[in-house]
Structures are given as structure tokens and as C-alpha cells.
Amino acid sequence: ETTSLNEKVGTFEKLVTLDPELLKKYSKVYFLNEHYEPSALIEIDQAYVSDPARTLEFHAQAYPYLAQMIESAHSDDVDLVVASAYRSFKTQATLKANNTVVYGAGTANRFSADQGYSEHQLGTTIDFITTGLNGNLTTNFDTTDSYIWLTNNAHRYGFILSYPKGNAYYIYEPWHWRFVGIKLAKYFLLPDVI
């Protein structure tokens, strides 16, 4: 098991060397330009997606961690499905514009990133939902078995909660999880131990 973990950490270190953008905090801090795309994207298995009619993509080198995490949740009888993943600069611009029209600029700025500032553009960020919430992204996600499972297990697969309660960037988003690698995810969980 130690060899396997070392190989995974080594793989992520290589990934960061190839794409140093992956570990910056883009939420209102760093900007990804309109030409940035992950080095390789892969389609998320339809069995993991909330709407099988949609094609969702994730960073190809991080995808095995995502798939393994979802399979592990399902093995534990936890309902965990992907509602959103990679979004291009253009897609994020459209989403932000729509949210601004519907909710107004002030409210939209509390929960919707401007294009170039969304972690979704990295291809390593997922919005999870559970069927019990009718497919909605809501703070009530934190009352579900899915959220409890993620808080107890996501770090084992290299994922962290991007916007916990009291964060400086956006409203609390219990559904929004970002792949940062196992070593860094464990550090965020237990910074004094690693």
C-alpha cells in the first residue's frame, strides 16, 4: 500500500510540474485566461453523472481518483453523483451572466465566479449532488449521508472542500470539491500531523 501511495503522490507531483496552475486559489485571487484548458480532459462515466444526457469532463490524470472515490462511496451505499465538472472560460462567462440576470449582480457575486476565476476551469473540481435533494445545489447537502461520507473520506482520494463555512471567497458550498492530491488533501485535514 505504501508503494501505491508513493506512486500516486509521484503522479500528482508530475501533474503539477506539467501544469503549475492546478494548485493556485482562483476564487477572486488568481486569474486563468480565456486560453487556459487542462492538459487533458476525459469524459466522466455516465453512471457517475446526475444527468446522463449531459457530457461532463474531468482532468484525465486526476480522473482515476474521482472514479475510485465515487465507487467507494457507492460500495458504502452512499448516493454520490456529479452535477458539474470542467467548465471552459466561455461556459463560465455564460453561467455568470445568467446568474447575474436572475439574481442580480450583488447576489450572483456571492456564489458565482467570474470567468477566469472559477476552479471548474482547471478540470479538477466537481459539484456533487444526491438524488434526495432533487438534483439541486443547496447548503442542505451538508445534511446528507453523501456530505458526511465526503468529509470523512474525500481526502483519501485527494479531494478537499473548496468553500467551507466562513471562507473568504464565496458562500458556503458543501457540494464543491476540488482535487489537490492525496498529500495536500491530508495536510488540509490534519496540518500538524503531515
Report the distance separating Cα 68 and Cα 99, nearest Å: 33
Please report the pLDDT score of residue 39 as a whole number: 84
Find the helix packing angle between 2-18 and 182-189, rounded to 10°.
100
Report the distance separating Cα 159 and Cα 109, nearest Å: 25
Please report the pLDDT score of residue 109 as a whole number: 54
pLDDT single digits (tens) 97-106? 665 666 676 6
Q: How far is CA 119 from CA 23, 72, 131, 149, 175, in A?
A: 10, 24, 24, 22, 13
Find out whether 142 and 111 touch, Cβ atoms under 8 Å: no
pLDDT single digits (tens) 178-193? 999 998 888 887 654 4
H or E stretch including 161? Answer: strand 159-163
Q: Which residue has the cell 434526495?
A: 132
Which grid coordinates are listed for 71?
465507487
How many residues are given for the chain? 194
109 in helix, strand or coil? helix
φ, ψ of residue 43 in degrees (nearest 5): -70, 135
**Ranges of residues in the chain whose predicted pLDDT is under 70:** 1-31, 92-93, 95-103, 105-117, 132-135, 190-194
Please report the pLDDT score of residue 2 as a whole number: 46
Please report the pLDDT score of residue 190 as a whole number: 61
- Residue closest to 83 by CA, chosen among 135, 43, 42, 140: 135
Please report the pLDDT score of residue 95 as a whole number: 61
